[in-house]
Amino acid sequence: MSAGVLLTTVAAVVWIARPGQQSSCTAVHIVPETGTATSRMLVASSSTGIANWHTVDASPPTRPGEARYYSFAPGAACSFTGLPTNGFYVGVSTREYGHADLCGAYLDVHGPRGDVRVLIADRCPGCAPGQLDLSTAAFEQIADRSDGVAQIRYSVVRDPLPAPELIYEIKPDSSTSWLAMLVTGSGNPIQRIALRSAADGPWHELNRGMDNYWTISGAGPGPFSARVTDVHGHQVEISGISLEQGERYTGLSLYTEPFPEPPPAPTPELAATPPPRSSVAATGCNT
C-alpha cells in the first residue's frame, strides 16, 4: 500500500470509526484573511477548489467547525517532504483542497482548551467543508485526545511571521520537454507561478496538480526564472533555476525578507560642552 493510500485510509477511519462523531457542521469556505484595515480584494479559486469567489474584508474571518485528529505520516497530499511527524499540521476537505489551492498556508485554530497554528499539508477525503483533520500533536493543543472531536473556530492566517523562506525543488523526472517544480515556504496560498528561460523572454503560466507540483511542457534546458504570486498579490522572482534535482533555498520571502539586516548601531552623541582649556592649549592654538 502506498503512503498516499495509507494516509487516505487513516483519515477516513478516524472520521468514520469513532462513536458519537456525526457532523454538525454546515458547509463553510476557508477564506484568506487580510492584515490591513484598507485591504479589500477578490480571491479566485480553481474550478474544483473553493467553489466561489470570496470577498476578503479587512477583519479576519473566523469560521466555526469541527476538528478530529489522525496520525500524520510522510506522503501527505501537498508533497511536502522532511516534515517531522510530531509537528502541527492539518488536512482540509477535498472541496477546500481543490487543486492543492491551500497547500502551504496556515490556519489559526481555537479550541476548548487552547489555540494552535497549523500548516495546511494534507487532504482529508472523509471531511466535509469546515471539518479539519489535525495531526495528533496539534489536536492535543486545543482539546483532550480522549474527546475525539472538538468544536472549534478557525481562520486562514495572512502573512504569518516570522516570514518563511521560499524553497523550490525540481521533480526528479523533469527534462527539457516537461518540468515540474514544488515551491514551499510561501506562508500564504500561492495563486500562480510563471516561468521564463530568458531575461527578456515571455512568461509562461504553470499548471498546478493535485500533488501541489507546478508543471509545464516544453520549457527547454534553462536556466529559468520563476515568478511566484500569492493570493494577496505578493510577488517574487527566483532566478538561476536549472533542471538539477534537490531542494534549493532562495533566501527570499513573498512578503518580507526572512533574514533582515540588523539595525545600524546608534551614533554616539557629540559632547555639548566645549573641551577643557588644557586640551585646546595642547594643539598650539592661541587662547
pLDDT in tens, the chain (287 residues): 433 433 333 333 334 333 333 333 222 223 233 232 222 222 323 333 332 223 333 445 899 999 999 999 888 999 998 899 999 999 999 999 999 999 999 999 999 999 999 999 999 999 999 999 999 999 999 999 999 999 999 999 999 999 999 999 999 999 999 999 999 999 999 999 999 997 778 999 999 999 999 999 999 998 999 999 999 999 999 999 999 988 999 999 999 854 445 556 665 554 444 444 433 333 333 43
Q: Where are the alpha helices (DSSP H) in 30-114?
A: 94-97
pTM of the predicted model as reported, rounded to 2 decimal places: 0.70
Q: Do 179 and 128 have their domain in common?
A: no
Neighbour tally for 189: CB within 10 Å: 24
Residue 268 lies in a domain: no
Q: Do 53 and 180 have their domain in common?
A: no
Residue 266 lies in a domain: no
* Domains contained in the chain, number: 2
CATH number of domain containing 45: 2.40.40.10
Q: Do 10 and 118 have their domain in common?
A: yes
How many Cα atoms occupy the beta-carbon half-sphere of 78 within 13 Å?
A: 29
Report the phi/psi class of residue 12: left, alpha or beta, with left for phi > 0 and alpha for psi in -120 to 50. alpha
**Can you give the residue range of the structural domain that contains 181?**
167-249
